[in-house]
Structure 1
Amino acid sequence: MSDNFVIIIPQFNDWEALNLLIKKINSDLDTHIKTNTTLLIVDDCSSKSRTQPFAAFDGKEIKLLRLYRNLGHQKAIAIGLSWVAEHLPVDKVIVMDADGEDAPIDINKLAAKSLQEPDKIIFAERKKRTESLLFRSFYKIYKFVFQALTGKLITFGNFSLVPQSRLQNLVRVSEIWNNYPGGIIKSRIPYDSVPTNRATRLAGESKMNFVSLVLHGLSAISVMVDTTAVRILIFSMMMSGVAIAFIFIILFLKLIGNATPGWASTLGSTLVILMLQSFLISLFLVFMVLQYRSQQHFIPAVHYRDFVEKVETFS
C-alpha cells in the first residue's frame, strides 16, 4: 500500500505562480506519489483575491486553509503542519514554497531518501542558487554568521519531507513558529538532506530582498538564542582577556618610560571601559535568555486554531 502524502504550500498573493506549480507537480511527481497526495494551500491572508480557479490536480484533492491575518511564511508553515497533524491521515508531509523555486521533481528525491532514512526529516540542500550575485553573497555571510553564533551549519531552507513518526514531535516545537529549519535544528529531531538545485520563479516577483534576508537570518539565530548568548559571553571574556593583556603591556611601557605622556592612561582607561561594557551586556543577555526559558512558550499544535479562519476543499 502506497504512503499518503500531503504537500503544504504557504502562499501570499502568489496565485498565478501557484497554479503553474500545480501543473508542474502533475507533470514531475512520480505517479505512485501523486495519486496519493493532497495539496494543502495555506493562504497567509492574501491581500489579492484569487481571480482564477485552481489548476486541475491529478492527485486526491486540494484544500485551502485561510488565515485570519498575515503572519509570514514561517508561521504559515507551522499552522499548516499543525492542522495536518490533527485532521489528516498522512504518512509523509512535504513543505515547499508556492513560487516554484522548490522544484516538484525534487520531491521524488526526498521520498527516495526517506525510504532509506524513514525516521528522519529530509531537507533539500541547496547546491546551486539562481539569485543575483549580491543576494548570494549576503546569503553566504548569513550562513557564516549563523555557524559562528550557533555552532550549527545550515545549508537548507523550508523545502523538506516530514515523516509521520516525527510530525507530532515537530508541531510541539515552539521554535518552528519563528523559523522552521532553525526550530528543527534546535529540537534535535534527527534530519538528513539530499542535494538539489534551486529552480527559477514561475511567475511574479520574489518577495525576498535584503531586508527580508536579514529578518530571516535574525529569526533563525533567535531560535538558538541560548547558545548564541553563551557564545557571545565567551567571546566577550576572551576579548576581555586580550584587553587585560594590552593593559599590562601599556603599564610595562609606561614603567620603562617608552610611553607618550597621556597616551597610556587614555588607552588603558578606554580598554577597561570597553571590556566592562561588553562583559556586562553579554552577562545581561545570558540572564534574559535564562528568564525566557522559564516562561511558557507558544506551542503550534495547541495555539494554531486561533489563526485559522476556514478550510475549503476542491476536488
Structure 2
Amino acid sequence: MQNPRLTIIVPCYNEEAVLPKSAHILDGILTDLIQHKQVNAASKLLFVDDGSQDKTWKLIKSLEKQYSTVTGLKFSRNFGHQNALMAGMQVASPTAEIVITIDADLQDDPQVIPEMVARYRAGSDIVLGVRNDRSSDSLFKRWTADGFYRLMKRIGVQLVPNHADFRLLSQRAVQALLTYEETNLFLRGIVPRLGFPTTKLYYHRQPRFAGVSKYPLRKMVAFAFDGITSFSIAPIKVILLFGMVISGGSLMMMLYALIQGLLGTATSGWSSLMTSLWFLGGMQLIGISIVGEYVGKIFAEVKHRPRYIIETDDYTATQQPAIVNSQRVHG
C-alpha cells in the first residue's frame, strides 16, 4: 500500500483560545507520520471556521504561514458543527485517501491518530474513536448520556456508545457518506450505517485545556432530540400509545360516572375535572409539538437549500487545478 494522503479536519467555532496549541500538537503528529512514511507528504490539517465571531479565522491564516501543513476553510456564517465536518470531508475527498475528524479542543486524544492510520492500513475503512470511560464527566452528564444511548438502541438506531465525532474514514467511506443529502445531519447515526469494515479504538478523554464547551446542556438536549427524530418515528408511536391509554381511561371514567348517576350518588368534582383538562391539554400540546418537529424537518428537506456556503477555501488552492474546479458544489 502506498502512503495514503491524510487530511485531518478540525471544525472551529470561536476557538481562538485553543487553536495555537491544537495546531502545534496536530502538526507535530502529522509531521511525524510523514517522516515515518505512514502518510503522504502532501497530507494536510484543515481547519473549518464555522462562522466564528472571535479571531479564529485570523489565527487560521496566521497558522497557514507558520505551518506548511495547515490550511483553512471559512463559512460565510455559522452553519453548525455537523455541516462543518461535512464541508471539510467534501472539500478533502477528491485528493485525500483518508480523513480524520477531531474537535479543536483536543479532548479526544490526538495521540491515537497514528494507531488510527495503522488500523486503516490493516484494512479498516472506518476507525471509530471511543471513550474508554466517562469519569471526567459530571454524574448528571454520565446518567443522561447512558440514558440517551439506551433509548436510541431501544428504538432501533445504530449508535456506538461513547463515540462522538472523532473518527477515521477512507475515501470510499467519505464518498458514500456524501451521498446522504439530508439537511438535518446526525453523523453519529449515519456512519454506522455505511457498512464498510469498521474497528473501534478506545482512548481516554482529556480535560479541555482552554476555552469553553460549545455544547451546553440546551444544545446537547436539542442535538439528542434531533438525533432521535432524524432516525426514528418512535416519538409519534409513543403519542399514539398515550392516546390509546388515555382514551381507554376516559371510557372507564364515563362508565363509572354513568353508574354513579344511575345510583344517585354522583357528586361534583371541580378538582378532578380541572386536573383532567390540564392533563389532556398538556398531552395534546406535546403531541402537536412532536408532530410539528417532523413536519418542520420535512419542510427543511424539501427546500433543498445548501447545507453551508463557503466564503474562503484555502485547501483547494493548495491542490491540483483540476481539483479546484470540482469543488464548487457545497451540499
Query: d(CA) in 2 for partners of 1:152 and 1:85?
Result: 25
Per-residue CA deviations over 1:67-123 (Å, capped at 9, x if unaligned) read 22232322211111111124xx2211101111111211222333344345534x332
Per-residue CA deviations over 1:140-160 (Å, capped at 9, x if unaligned) read 444455455664445221111
Does residue 104 in structure 1 map to residue 82 in structure 2? Answer: no
Does residue 125 in structure 1 map to residue 130 in structure 2? Answer: yes
Structure 1 residues not aligned, in runs of 5+: none
Does residue 50 in structure 1 map to residue 56 in structure 2? Answer: no
Runs of 4+ residues deviating >6 angstroms: none
Query: d(CA) in 2 for partners of 1:267 and 1:16?
Result: 54
Q: 1:63 aligns with which of 60, 66, 71?
A: 71
Contact 2:8 2:45 in 1 (8 A): yes
Per-residue CA deviations over 1:173-211 (Å, capped at 9, x if unaligned) read 2247643324435xx312643332212223333333222
Contact 1:74 1:177 in 2 (8 A): no
The corresponding residue for 2:194 is 189
Query: d(CA) in 2 for partners of 1:287 and 1:142?
Result: 19
Contact 1:174 1:183 in 2 (8 A): no
Deviates most, 148-157 or 258-267: 258-267
Structure 1 residue identity aligned to 2:236: L
Does residue 242 in structure 1 map to residue 236 in structure 2? Answer: no
The corresponding residue for 1:14 is 15
Does residue 77 in structure 1 map to residue 85 in structure 2? Answer: yes
1:109–1:219 Cα change, 3 Å:
farther
TM-score (norm 1): 0.75
Per-residue CA deviations over 1:196-240 (Å, capped at 9, x if unaligned) read 22122233333332223223323333433xx23xx2232222222
Query: d(CA) in 2 for partners of 1:113 and 1:149?
Result: 31
1:51–1:176 Cα change, 3 Å:
closer
Specify the SS of the correspondent of 1:79: helix
Provide the identity percentage: 21
The corresponding residue for 2:310 is 307
Query: d(CA) in 1 for partners of 2:115 and 2:142?
Result: 24
1:117–1:282 Cα change, 3 Å:
farther
Specify the SS of the correspondent of 1:10: strand
Query: d(CA) in 2 for partners of 1:238 and 1:278?
Result: 15
Q: CA deviation at 1:161?
A: 0.9
The corresponding residue for 1:168 is 175
1:287–1:151 Cα change, 3 Å:
closer
The corresponding residue for 2:4 is 3
Q: CA deviation at 1:275?
A: 10
Map 1:89-100; keep pairs closer than 5 Å: 89-100=95-106
Aligned length: 299
1:99–1:138 Cα change, 3 Å:
same
Structure 2 residue identity aligned to 1:62: V
1:275–1:309 Cα change, 3 Å:
closer
Structure 2 residue identity aligned to 1:124: G
Query: d(CA) in 1 for partners of 2:241 and 2:137?
Result: 38
Query: d(CA) in 2 for partners of 1:173 and 1:202?
Result: 35
Contact 1:126 1:196 in 2 (8 A): yes
Map 1:247-262; keep pairs closer than 5 Å: 247-254=250-257, 257=260, 261-262=267-268
Map 1:207-218; keep pairs closer than 5 Å: 207-218=214-225
1:248–1:82 Cα change, 3 Å:
same
Q: 2:230 aligns with which of 216, 220, 223?
A: 223
Does residue 281 in structure 1 map to residue 288 in structure 2? Answer: yes
Contact 1:21 1:98 in 2 (8 A): yes
Specify the SS of the correspondent of 2:201: strand
